[in-house]
Chain A
Amino acid sequence: MSVISVQDLSKSYRVFTKRAGLRASISGLFHRQYKTVHAVDKVSFEVAKGEMVAFLGPNGAGKTTTLKLLAGLIYPTGGAARVLSHIPWKRENVYRRRFSLVMGQKNQLWWDLPAQESFLLHKEIYRIEPETFRNRLDELTTLLDVRDLVGQPVRELSLGERMRMELIAALLHGPDVLLLDEPTIGLDVVSQRRVQEFLRQYQTDRKITVLLTSHYMKDVEALCQRAIIINEGRIIHDGSLADVVDRFSTHKVIDLQFAGAELPANLDQYGTVVERRPPRVKLEVPRNDIPRVLNELLSNYSIEDVGVKDRPLEEVIAELFSRHRSSPKQHDSQPATVPESSTE
């Protein structure tokens, strides 16, 4: 049974539009013009218990809006959603005790007090038994390596330490569903990795259901097997993360090591040279041309080593987003969700 079930969920905003200039500002006092922005447009998906799903998309795609809908922060314009059998925007306390929303750019801890004061407040708000609270706090502070920092005012913590405290606050009540919005935004590489490792271990141990948005593909690759890609409010992919590359990457990379120290001069005819370090070279080649190009290269040149790789997920996603940005209507013709079997 699905823990998160979303059908045709929509959220539209009426947004004030203003032309540039003083005259437009003055006329805007009397005649306001609005446009409707469909932040989330008939989105449907299901998430099973214990799944960790990446929710990907460019800025303004509707990822955070969807998370806010599932957290009951905002009301939808249409459609339906159930999380743990609850309608989120009813904001029943019994539901609010079973999920957590962590937003990387928002602080929910008391700024001027040590994090332990916020934790104690959470203990009461979420009605956590004293022994459970002690055990969880002990476990989480150990896992996240912040045991010595809980007595320090939050304002004096680094961004990475603060985010780890935020995660503790979000997990103290043992939520069944965790909604993570850019949890590693702004963190350095070490802090990012620590948060990633913690989330992976915690999710594996507890089998909680996680929906994660992140612009860091390293987060996504480290944590999620399934990805939902959303753009302009609509889902354009819902399937395994590996399929994202298969489906949306039109090219592969051939890694060649030539026998001599010199590289042939006419490699451009086979594809785009993306890296040239004699005797090695990397060629980006259309997927359909791979057999032909490999055949010709191996026939015409003396090659010591060869490998064919997918392009990095980060590049594929970046290209996909920029493709949709340059042709915004393109996705309209695609089905809202594409079954995995329909990939190229």
Chain B
Amino acid sequence: MMNSVRVNWIILRTCVEERLVYRADFAFATLVRFLPIVTQIFLWRAIYGKDPNTQLNTYTYSNMVAYYLMAMLGRAFSSMPGLASGIARDVRDGSIKKYLTQPVDMLGYLFWHRVAHKLVYYFVAAVPFAFVFFMCRDYFDGWPDGWTVSAWILSLLLAFLIGFLLESLIGLISFWFLEVSSLLFIYMMFNYFLSGHMIPLDWLPSPLSDWVRLLPFKYLAYFPAAIMLRRPDGTPRYSHEELASELQMEMCWVVLLLIANRIAFARGVRRYGAFGG
């Protein structure tokens, strides 16, 4: 047990060191990701018009900006740039060999690699994020109660796990189809829409919204964002009972996706041809 913790710690530490090598590129890429926030806020302002009481599907302009910022925060945890394509590349060119011949669990290794990636990202992005939230503080209704904040933090961590497991699963499909870039593109497209990144999921008409809520994508952006928000009448968007139920469902998705990953890896390795040398 202690050995495993130590191995994971060293993997994490080494990955952080690696992430810090190209400092300028990483910092620039991180900062550039904030630009769409500004354009999106302007876009919603144009949609809502000048009347501050205008409501679209139970969201005022302030609610919408707050939702968008919280969804962006959720995405900062759940998005996994380069994970699936990286696995596919390793399978295609044979670099996956190091995971198969060394006494190390590939998914665990990639997980800690991604944790390192995120930690460095948060380190670089913390100040810009804080600045944006400070500038937009008037759009928020204030802090909810402690239980809700705890549920929100847990939902962000689970969003990270679901995002990781979904994208690694797509990467593992490369054991069957060496090229997964089109599949990944389709996934990203659906993800953008079904996670609530584009619009809140409760804007979707029934029964579509009912079906979408059964999928794991909502936990990537919509759910962590909506937890912290209130409706125009001041009531929270999720009651404590609903939060508990949703978090349980989210954990079930984590377990289900973990099992799917393990099965895909075990079966994929069996049919792996190691063509890439």
Residues of A participating in the B interface, judged by any CB pair closer than 8 Å: 13, 64, 68, 71-75, 91, 93, 96-97, 99-101, 103, 105-106, 108, 110, 112-113, 117-118, 120-122, 124-127, 153
Binary interface encoding of chain B residues 184-208 relative to chain A, with 1 for a CB under 8 A from any of its CBs, else 0: 0000000000000000000000000
Contact between A108 and B14, CB atoms less than 8 A apart: no
Q: Residue on A with the closest CB to B9?
A: A124
A sample of 5 cross-chain residue pairs with beta-carbon separation below 8 angstroms, ordered by A number, consists of: A73-B272, A106-B95, A124-B3, A125-B103, A127-B3
A301 to B250, CA, bound (A): 96
A267 to B100, CA, bound (A): 60
Neighbouring B residues of A112 by C-beta, 8 Å: 18, 21-22
Contact between A74 and B97, CB atoms less than 8 A apart: no
Distance (whole angstroms) from the CB of A86 to the closest CB of chain B: 12
- Among B14, B100, B269, B274, point to the contact of A110 (Cβ < 8 A): B14
Q: Does B6 contact A (CB under 8 A)?
A: yes
Neighbouring A residues of B232 by C-beta, 8 Å: none
A112 to B17, CA, bound (A): 9
Neighbouring A residues of B3 by C-beta, 8 Å: 124, 127
Distance (whole angstroms) from the CB of B195 to the closest CB of chain A: 32
Contact between A74 and B272, CB atoms less than 8 A apart: yes
Distance (whole angstroms) from the CB of B22 to the closest CB of chain A: 7
Distance (whole angstroms) from the CB of B248 to the closest CB of chain A: 34
Binary interface encoding of chain B residues 88-107 relative to chain A, with 1 for a CB under 8 A from any of its CBs, else 0: 00000011011011111000
Known: A74-B274, A106-B95, A106-B277. A117 touches B101 (CB 8 A): no
Contact between B101 and A125, CB atoms less than 8 A apart: no
- Among B18, B21, B94, B271, point to the contact of A106 (Cβ < 8 A): B94
Neighbouring A residues of B21 by C-beta, 8 Å: 112-113, 153
Neighbouring B residues of A91 by C-beta, 8 Å: 100, 269
Contact between B18 and A113, CB atoms less than 8 A apart: yes
Neighbouring A residues of B102 by C-beta, 8 Å: 96, 122, 125-126
- Among A75, A103, A125, point to the contact of B97 (Cβ < 8 A): A103
Q: Does B260 contact A (CB under 8 A)?
A: no
Neighbouring A residues of B14 by C-beta, 8 Å: 110, 113, 117-118, 120-121
Neighbouring B residues of A73 by C-beta, 8 Å: 97, 100-101, 272, 274
A145 to B107, CA, bound (A): 35
Contact between B103 and A110, CB atoms less than 8 A apart: no
Known: A73-B272, A112-B18, A120-B14. A126 touches B101 (CB 8 A): no
Neighbouring A residues of B104 by C-beta, 8 Å: 125
Contact between B11 and A121, CB atoms less than 8 A apart: yes
6 new A-B contacts, CB < 8 A, other than A75-B271, A75-B272, are A72-B101, A73-B101, A106-B277, A108-B97, A118-B14, A127-B3
Top 6 A-B pairs, shortest CB-CB distance: A93-B103, A96-B103, A124-B10, A112-B21, A108-B98, A124-B7
Neighbouring A residues of B100 by C-beta, 8 Å: 71-73, 91
Q: Residue on B with the closest CB to A98?
A: B103
Binary interface encoding of chain B residues 22-44 relative to chain A, with 1 for a CB under 8 A from any of its CBs, else 0: 10000000000000000000000
Contact between A124 and B6, CB atoms less than 8 A apart: yes
Contact between A97 and B101, CB atoms less than 8 A apart: no
Q: Residue on B with the closest CB to A126?
A: B103
A50 to B98, CA, bound (A): 25
In chain B, positions 241-277 with a C-beta closer than 8 Å to chain A are 269-274, 277
Q: Residue on A with the closest CB to B273?
A: A13
Distance (whole angstroms) from the CB of A223 to the closest CB of chain B: 22
A153 to B21, CA, bound (A): 10
Q: Residue on A with the closest CB to B95?
A: A106
In chain B, positions 116-174 with a C-beta closer than 8 Å to chain A are none
A36 to B89, CA, bound (A): 25
Which of A118, A126, A153 is the most central at the interface, judged by chain B CB atoms within 10 Å of its CB?
A126
Contact between A96 and B101, CB atoms less than 8 A apart: yes
Known: A91-B100, A96-B103, A117-B17. A68 touches B10 (CB 8 A): no
Neighbouring A residues of B273 by C-beta, 8 Å: 13, 74
Distance (whole angstroms) from the CB of B160 to the closest CB of chain A: 23
Q: Residue on B with the closest CB to A39?
A: B273
- Among A96, A105, A125, A126, point to the contact of B277 (Cβ < 8 A): A105
Which of B10, B14, B102, B274 is the most central at the interface, judged by chain A CB atoms within 10 Å of its CB?
B102
A106 to B97, CA, bound (A): 9
